[in-house]
């Protein structure tokens, strides 16, 4: 069963999206959901665990 998410502000159904991010000059994209109306976006849990946290740890180790 797939969960449906709705934007808190717009009440629009969120859609799957590739979300670009920059963290201390490192650019990447991650999977997540985005509101088609206002553009608010959230990364999914797996992206945070596989991309965001390792990128932050790599930068912090320098």
Judge whether 14 and 35 are in contact, CB under 8 Å.
Answer: yes
The predicted pLDDT at position 11 comes to 95
d(CA 42, CA 46): 12
The predicted pLDDT at position 43 comes to 92
pTM (two decimals): 0.72
With a pLDDT cut of 90, the percent of the chain lying above it is 45
Q: Is residue 16 helix, strand or coil? A: strand
């Amino acid at each position: 069963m797939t969960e449906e998410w709705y934007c808190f502000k717009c009440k629009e159904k969120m859609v799957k999206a590739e979300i670009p991010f920059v963290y201390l000059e490192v650019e990447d994209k991650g999977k997540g959901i985005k509101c088609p109306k206002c553009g608010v976006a959230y990364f999914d849990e797996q992206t945070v665990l596989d991309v965001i946290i390792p990128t932050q740890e790599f930068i912090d180790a320098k």
